[in-house]
């Protein structure tokens, strides 16, 4: 979840340069931030990066590491913020991941007289390595020793005081080296340096690197290894149009362009990959999707469409995939992830591969871990999402799944989808803003759907929870009477999504209306006189267009409440812990 960046160069640079690179990863966490230099200067504080940068002194160095935190172990305090220093002041490091046996390691170090100043698992790493060095090991052997005893996940950047080197090592958590003209950047994500260089070297599990200003060396447990330099391309941008107050609304409005970009690619440079994926899918017994959050809701749409044409397909939340899904040589597992680094999805993919399943992926970030673990991969080309809430990623994930289904026999015209999205935003935004003004004090919203609108209900509920801080439940309309209807009372808001002539949904609406619910209907059937009529060029656009209405409601309700829309509390965009 956390973002880490290290920078090293023969020429001195100001530490704000390194923190600027970190700011490009702030979507990974924004509870606290900190930076350390090779000279031993440490600056850290709670809160976001921008105010922290404003108070940083203009310190110059040849090597620095920094960190933006999403808290897992230890509350959000200055003491718990990274970087952490060793007991003797010789080691400074930042860490993304979770050391699962940190309590056991901490107990052993405490018996040796080492005192801890934070409540984090990360501080254990610094003390352990410093203790091993004092016991006679070299710094490299101390790092190897830690990697041998550590359980859990980690990407670590380490400075040894006064030494012009960055030591980097990882297991499961993402880490990549960027090659600059005047040195190197090592980070959680290519986006930290994609504005400076396209040259990247990706770490694999249980590898470590020694990075100097003009060279780098990679090692595994067996010794030195040669690594491939990858030329990366990335459609992301951090620029925010001044006409948009928040990134979320900017990204909602970017969806037509993102959809056009993907459709063109699926017909062009990615057509070969997509055709090969469809060929594999036709030859396999069953398709198993694995995803989390918004990506899971997109996968539900894929399951619905594929089953409608007789293709056996299932999906499951990634964290439970190994418990409930049979992945073997007869299955094609399709992993869906915005970042391509979601830890639960990575674990599920590794499990599927170990069972002999073919693995494909649908990702937004190129060269990510999940893509590199896949036999086939489709890039959705949504571009960088700065807001924690996924909007254009969801849309392009659904389009990619529609294209796969189309190649397998699903009859549809995808070419109208970008214009359909534009029309929905243009025709709905003003009315959503009007209704949102009356909904800012709402505590509960229930969202119902059937068939292809059921995944929409789940996704809209998620957006209302994460952005508007409203308790929202998305459910199948038929399940209302099995418990939830007991919560329907006078004035409760119910969103109803209806695709086509679904009269069962009308019955569900009547069930809540007679109990006093205020129903907002979103439908593509004019005979139902919906509050929002979706006039679409293709039925396939419905789950996208309907969800966009929900995105707009989530945004404008949150805006009415004065909430931190782009950085909602307790959330991070890239979930790299289990």
75-91, pLDDT tens digit by residue? 889 889 989 999 999 99
Would you say residue 498 lies in a domain?
A: yes
What is the CATH number for 503? 3.40.50.10490
Structural domains counted in the chain = 3
What's the CA angle centered on 566, arms 559 and 370, to 5 degrees?
Answer: 145
Same domain, 204 and 254: no
The confidence score (pLDDT) of residue 569 equals: 84
pTM: 0.85
Nearest alpha carbon to residue 166 among 96, 205, 213, 218:
213
pLDDT band at 572 (very low <50, low <70, confident <90, very high): low
- CB-CB neighbours of 309 under 10 Å: 13
Same domain, 158 and 279: no
Mean pLDDT to the nearest integer, 37-47: 93
Same domain, 31 and 111: yes
Q: Which residues contact 138 (CB under 8 A, 6 or more apart)?
A: none
Q: Which residues contact 193 (CB under 8 A, 6 or more apart)?
A: 21, 178, 180, 185, 187, 200
Angstrom distance (rounded) from CA 85 to CA 550? 46
The confidence score (pLDDT) of residue 240 equals: 57
Q: What is the pLDDT of residues 133-152, one digit of tens each?
A: 999 999 999 999 999 999 99
Q: Which domain holds residue 478?
A: 426-565
Would you say residue 421 lies in a domain?
A: no
Would you say residue 309 lies in a domain?
A: yes
Rg (CA), the chain: 25
Q: Which residues contact 364 (CB under 8 A, 6 or more apart)?
A: 337, 338, 339, 340, 379, 380, 381, 382, 383, 385, 393, 396
User: According to DSSP H, which parts of 33-161 are helical?
Assistant: 49-55, 102-111, 122-134, 139-149
Would you say residue 307 lies in a domain?
A: yes
Would you say residue 330 lies in a domain?
A: yes
Same domain, 84 and 221: yes
**C-beta separation of 377 from 364 below 8 A:** no
pLDDT band at 386 (very low <50, low <70, confident <90, very high): confident
173 has a pLDDT exceeding 60: yes
Same domain, 226 and 265: no
Mean pLDDT to the nearest integer, 108-116: 93
Same domain, 296 and 408: yes
**Helix and strand totals (H; E) in the chain:** 17, 25
| Dihedral sign (CA 110, 116, 120, 124) | negative
- What DSSP state is assigned to residue 188? S
Same domain, 154 and 90: yes
The confidence score (pLDDT) of residue 234 equals: 60
Select from 360, 383, 415 the last residue of a domain: 415
Q: What is the pLDDT of residues 507-552, one digit of tens each?
A: 999 999 999 999 999 999 999 999 999 999 999 999 999 999 999 9
574 has a pLDDT exceeding 60: no
Select from 395, 415, 435 the last residue of a domain: 415
Mean pLDDT to the nearest integer, 8-23: 93
Q: Which two tokens stand for residue 480?
A: 């209302």
Buried b (16+ CB within 10 A) or exposed e, 215-246: ebebbeeeeeeeeeeeebebebeeeeeeeeeb
Mean pLDDT to the nearest integer, 23-34: 83
Buried b (16+ CB within 10 A) or exposed e, 1-19: bbbbbbbbbeeebebbebb
Select from 213, 231, 249 the last residue of a domain: 231
CA neighbours closer than 13 Å in the CB half-sphere of residue 85: 18
% of the chain surpassing 70 pLDDT: 97
Would you say residue 573 lies in a domain?
A: no
Q: What is the pLDDT of residues 362-379, one digit of tens each?
A: 999 888 899 999 999 999
What is the CATH number for 192? 3.60.20.10
The confidence score (pLDDT) of residue 31 equals: 85
The confidence score (pLDDT) of residue 29 equals: 74
Same domain, 203 and 59: yes
Same domain, 344 and 206: no
Angstrom distance (rounded) from CA 457 to CA 148? 46
Would you say residue 392 lies in a domain?
A: yes
Q: What is the pLDDT of residues 427-437, one digit of tens each?
A: 999 999 999 99
Q: Give kind and range of the element (H or E) at residue 25.
A: none
Would you say residue 528 lies in a domain?
A: yes
Residues acting as catalytic residues: 2, 573
Residue ranges with strand state E in 285-352: 286-291, 313-317, 331-337
Same domain, 258 and 407: yes
Q: Give kind and range of the element (H or E) at residue 19.
A: helix 15-23
pLDDT band at 1 (very low <50, low <70, confident <90, very high): low
pLDDT band at 578 (very low <50, low <70, confident <90, very high): low
Same domain, 122 and 196: yes
Checking DSSP bridges between strand 215-220 and strand 223-225, what pairing results, if any?
antiparallel
Q: Which residues contact 2 (CB under 8 A, 6 or more apart)?
A: 28, 29, 67, 68, 69, 70, 82, 94, 95, 96, 188, 572, 576
Same domain, 450 and 486: yes
């Amino acid at each position: 979840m956390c973002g880490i960046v290290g920078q090293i160069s023969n020429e001195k640079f100001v530490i704000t340069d390194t923190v600027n690179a970190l700011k490009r990863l702030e979507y990974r966490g924004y509870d606290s931030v900190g930076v350390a230099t090779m000279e031993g200067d440490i600056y850290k504080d709670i809160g976001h990066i921008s105010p922290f940068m404003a108070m940083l002194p203009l310190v110059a160095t040849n090597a620095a590491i920094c960190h933006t935190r999403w808290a897992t172990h230890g509350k959000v305090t200055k003491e718990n913020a990274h970087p952490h220093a060793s007991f003797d002041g010789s080691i400074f490091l930042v860490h993304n991941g979770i050391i699962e046996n940190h309590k056991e390691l901490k107990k052993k170090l405490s018996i040796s007289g080492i005192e801890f100043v934070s409540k984090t698992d990360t501080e254990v790493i610094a003390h352990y390595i410093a203790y091993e060095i004092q016991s006679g090991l070299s710094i490299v052997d101390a790092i190897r020793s830690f990697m041998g005893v550590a359980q859990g996940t980690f990407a670590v950047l380490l400075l040894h005081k006064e030494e012009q080197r960055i030591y980097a090592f990882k297991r499961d958590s993402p880490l990549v080296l960027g090659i600059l003209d005047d040195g190197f950047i090592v980070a959680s994500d290519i986006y930290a340096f994609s504005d400076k260089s396209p040259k990247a070297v990706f770490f694999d599990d249980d590898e470590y690197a020694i990075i100097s200003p003009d060279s780098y060396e990679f090692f595994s447990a067996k010794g030195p290894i040669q690594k491939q330099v990858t030329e990366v391309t990335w459609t992301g941008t951090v620029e925010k149009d001044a006409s948009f107050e928040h990134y979320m609304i900017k990204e909602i409005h970017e969806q037509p362009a993102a959809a056009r970009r993907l459709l063109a690619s699926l017909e062009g440079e990615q057509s070969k990959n997509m055709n090969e994926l469809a060929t594999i899918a036709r030859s396999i017994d069953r398709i198993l999707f694995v995803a989390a959050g918004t990506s899971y809701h997109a996968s539900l749409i894929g399951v619905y469409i594929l089953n409608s044409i007789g293709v056996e397909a299932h999906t499951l939340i990634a964290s439970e995939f190994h418990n409930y899904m049979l992945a073997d040589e007869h299955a094609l597992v399709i992993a869906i992830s915005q970042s391509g680094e979601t830890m639960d999805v990575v674990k599920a993919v590794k499990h599927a591969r170990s069972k002999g399943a073919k693995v494909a992926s649908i990702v937004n970030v190129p060269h990510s871990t999940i893509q590199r673990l896949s036999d086939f991969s489709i890039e959705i080309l949504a571009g960088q999402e700065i807001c924690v809430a996924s909007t254009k990623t969801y849309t392009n994930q659904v389009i990619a799944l529609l294209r796969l289904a189309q190649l397998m026999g699903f009859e549809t015209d995808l070419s109208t989808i970008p214009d359909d999205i534009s029309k929905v935003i243009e025709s709905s935004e003003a009315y959503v803003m009007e209704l949102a003004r009356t909904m800012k004090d709402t505590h509960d919203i229930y969202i119902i759907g059937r068939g292809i609108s059921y995944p929409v209900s789940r996704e809209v509920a998620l957006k209302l929870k994460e952005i508007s801080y409203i308790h929202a439940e998305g459910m199948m309309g038929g399940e209302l009477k099995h418990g939830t209807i007991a919560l329907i009372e006078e004035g409760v808001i119910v969103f109803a999504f209806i695709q086509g002539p679904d009269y069962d949904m009308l019955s569900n609406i009547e069930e809540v209306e007679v109990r006093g619910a205020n129903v907002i209907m979103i439908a593509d059937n004019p005979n139902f006189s919906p509050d929002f009529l979706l006039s679409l060029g293709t039925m396939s656009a419905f789950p996208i267009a309907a969800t966009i209405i929900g995105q707009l409601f989530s945004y404008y309700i949150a805006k009415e409440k004065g909430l931190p829309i782009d950085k909602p509390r307790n959330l991070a965009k890239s979930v790299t812990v289990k």
